[in-house]
Amino acid sequence: MTLISLVKKELFERKQQLFTSFCTILLGITAIVAINSITHSSEKAVKNELERLGANVLILPKEASVQDYYSADIGTGELPEGYVKKLSASGIHGMDNLSPKLSGKVMIQSKSFILTGILPKKEINNKAIWQQSNMLNFGSALSSATCPDSTIPIGKSDEELLSQKRFIESLKKNQIFVGYEAAAALDLKKGSQLPIKDTTFDVVAILPPTGTVDDSRIFAHLHTVQQLWNKPGKINVIEVIGCCQKILDGLVPKINALLPDAKVMTVTHVVETQLKTNKMMTHISWVFFTMIVLVGGASIANFMYGNVNERKKEIGTLMAIGANSRFILKLFFAKALFLGLAGGLGGFLIGTLMAMALGPHLANISVYPMPGLLGVAMAISVSISLIASLLPARRAAKIDPSIAFREV
């Protein structure tokens, strides 16, 4: 017989008492695991949604609105291109990509199109590095400001990046990307040439259809477009891919403070509800955590106190035949450990299954098991059990062994 087998025998012999305590901790851990699994999957869903949307933060002239941006109404104010440098060097974390653009209407073959100047990412990064090496306020270049969980896909072609993410890695001064509808209207193909005003451009690629205003856009290098319209150093918008969590943590006010003359907007109408749900789920998770600590802890403490009172004579006898206080403490802590481990493991399994079953109905998302939560569930469960057993175990260890001589 070992200490562990002794504890197991006692626990299984007093199943009814054990069952109540075990259920309390099991239910608490189940709730925590289920809520966390759903929240985590919901966050992932938001992240995927943001990735699908591309830019989620817009920096516009003060007088422009989001509607102007979406309808490509380009007559509503301008921003200095220097804002891009300022942002790059600001040290604000959570901006995955900055894409300054200048848009304007252009007539080609008697048809109206939107010509959008775009600055390739490589040139922005070069500026950031230049800033880093030339300014005293460094430690803040764009590369260090990106999201830790960057959603920028690797290995995508320029046209895929432009249509999905609205930025581009590289673009020469005389090259253009043409939207799907514009290409059809102008009968353009990859490799075609297109004169706009007094400049002839090479068509690098035709963009896939997006169902947005971008289908009738022509994308050229920002500086070429600025020259065409004689607007050097001017842009209409800076599109930013902001990290979801950083947006929640106050990315917008930080940019607002840096660029007080600009209007900073998030694509909140799409993500706000989900972000709010996530926040609510996190709060509920904390409420459950507090409840499990209080209710679960109280239940285990109650069970342990009851156990000590019921077993006083037994403990006294053990002490009379030579058990020291350390052995008695070990006996109770081993019991608490067993309860904690079983509650943590059971809670993780049931919570995960519940989240997988309920996730699609509650949050319209698919939930997958999170093995990392097993450790968290075990740690919470075991800690609560051990802490709740501390006082009862100490009381047991202080039992007067002479109780063994009493008849009742």
Partner 1 sequence: MIQLIDIDVEYHLRGQSVPALNLVNLTVQDGEFLAIIGPSGSGKSTFLQVLGGMLSPKKGQVLFDGVSLYEKSSDQRAAFRKTNIGFVFQTFNLIPFLTAKQNVQMPLLLNRYSTANQEERASQLLSRLGLADRLEHKPSELSVGQQQRVALARMLSNDPPIIIADEPTGSLDPDTSIQILDFLKELNQEGRTVIMVTHAPDAAEAATRCVQLVDGCVNEMNIDNQRPITLAASNM
Instruction: Give exposure, 268-295, as e/b (b: 16+ Cβ within 10 Å).
Output: eeebeebbebbeebeeebeebbeebbeb
Q: Which is nearer to partner 1, 13 or 198 (CB)?
A: 13
Stretch that binds partner 1, among 72-80, 230-238, 269-277, 395-403 (CB under 8 A): 395-403
Kindly report the number of other CB atoms within 10 A of residue 97's CB atom.
22
Assigned token pair, 230: 């004689």
Binding-site residue total for partner 1 (CB under 8 A)? 28
CB of 9 to partner 1, least distance (A): 6
Please state, in angstroms and rounded to a whole number, the distance separating the CA atoms of residues 284 and 6: 39
> Which residue lies nearer to partner 1 by CB, 179 or 316?
316
- At 383, which helix (H) or strand (E)? helix 372-397
**Cβ nearer to partner 1, comparing 20 with 402:** 402
- In degrees, rounded to 5, the angle at the alpha carbon of residue 162 between the alpha carbons of residues 160 and 163 is 65
The least CB distance from residue 17 to partner 1, in Å, is 12
Question: Minimum distance from CB of 312 to partner 1 (Å)?
Answer: 11
CB of 295 to partner 1, least distance (A): 28
Nearer of residues 272 and 310 to partner 1, judged by Cβ: 310
Longest dimension (CA), the chain: 112
Q: How far is the CB of 388 from partner 1 (least distance, A)?
A: 23
Of 151 and 325, nearer to partner 1 (C-beta) is: 325
Site for partner 1 in 299-358 (CB under 8 A): 313-314, 317-327
**Looking at beta carbons only, is 320 or 356 nearer to partner 1?**
320
Nearest of 253, 108, 75 to residue 176 by alpha carbon: 108
- Give least dist CB 14 to partner 1, A: 8
Q: Please report how close the Cβ of residue 392 comes to partner 1 at its closest, in angstroms.
A: 19
CB 33 within 8 A of CB 377: yes
Using the rule CB under 8 A, give the single segment among 6-14, 63-71, 246-254, 382-390 that binds partner 1. Answer: 6-14
Token pair for 291: 């409840």
- Other beta carbons less than 10 A from residue 25's beta carbon: 28
Structure tokens at 401: 């062994």
- Whichever of 261 and 400 has its CB closer to partner 1, that residue is 400
Token pair recorded at residue 7: 């504890």
* Shortest distance, position 3 Cβ to partner 1, whole Å: 7
Nearest to 100 by CA among 115, 120, 86: 120
C-alpha triplet 244, 248, 251: angle, nearest 5°? 85
Q: Which is nearer to partner 1, 5 or 230 (CB)?
A: 5
Counting contacts by CB under 8 A, is residue 1 touching partner 1?
yes
Restricting to residues 13-32, name those near partner 1 by CB under 8 A: 13-14
Segment holding 80, helix H or strand E: strand 79-80
Site residues (vs partner 1, CB under 8 A):
1-3, 6, 9-10, 13-14, 313-314, 317-327, 400-402, 404-407
